Amino acid sequence: MNGFERRKNKKIEQIYHVSFELFSKHGFQKVSVNEIAHKAKVSPATIYNYFGTKEQLYTDMVVNWMDKQLEHYEEILDSTRSFPEKTREIMLLEAQNLKMLSNEFLKPPSSEFSELVQTMEAYSEQKVAGFFMKFVALGKQEGYIQRTQTEEMTKLYFTMFKNELGRYWEASDQQRATQNMDQWIKLFFYGLAGQERNNWENPV
């Protein structure tokens, strides 16, 4: 990457950072390109040259945010933590991100809503699906997910738990929700019957 490309990427990252901050605080309609440009220390023309419209900047910003979340998940999955610990961290982050996605700033004008939904669906099919396949394969390899369980059903089960955890996160104190994560994870792996392995950290 040459100097020009590095400077361009640095500007784009700064624009994403400022856009995220302003959209999350004020919503899409109340934030102008001029305001973003001023805070990002670039010209409005630079933003239009890079993104074309404020709507496209908004969509690209959301995709950039999702890329960063997925990178974080990949780092967790590739870490030396146990599989239950990895699942705990990923599920907790997913619950927090679910809350973020439900906020008003991630709801674009109605004219652009269908386009963003399509973008997010395509993202899910291409990138999130690949990550989840890796997650399931590792869980099966380490003995925490039944080898006969399909990826489709495992994803449905994970999504169900994540959504319920998100609602619980909304309804209760976040510190309390975090403290109860161990119970959530035991329920996730063993259900109400509580048929745990003799060795939680080192399954056979």
CA 63 to chain centre: 10
pLDDT band at 25 (very low <50, low <70, confident <90, very high): confident
> Residue 3, Cβ neighbours under 10 Å: how many?
7
Query: For tokens 């690209």, what's the residue?
Result: 60
Task: Identify the DSSP state of 148.
Answer: T
pLDDT surpasses 80 at 33: yes
pLDDT digits (tens, 9 = 90+) for 130-144: 898 999 999 999 988
| Stretch among 25-29, 53-57, 109-113, 176-180 having the lowest mean pLDDT | 109-113
**Better-scored residue on pLDDT, 111 or 115:** 115
pLDDT band at 177 (very low <50, low <70, confident <90, very high): low
pLDDT band at 171 (very low <50, low <70, confident <90, very high): low
The pLDDT > 70 percentage for the chain reads 81
Mean pLDDT computed over 36-52: 95
Cα distances from 122 to residues 108, 112, 119, 151, 168, in angstroms, run: 17, 16, 5, 18, 28
Mean pLDDT computed over 22-35: 89
Mean pLDDT computed over 67-88: 93
Q: What is the pLDDT of residue 155?
A: 84
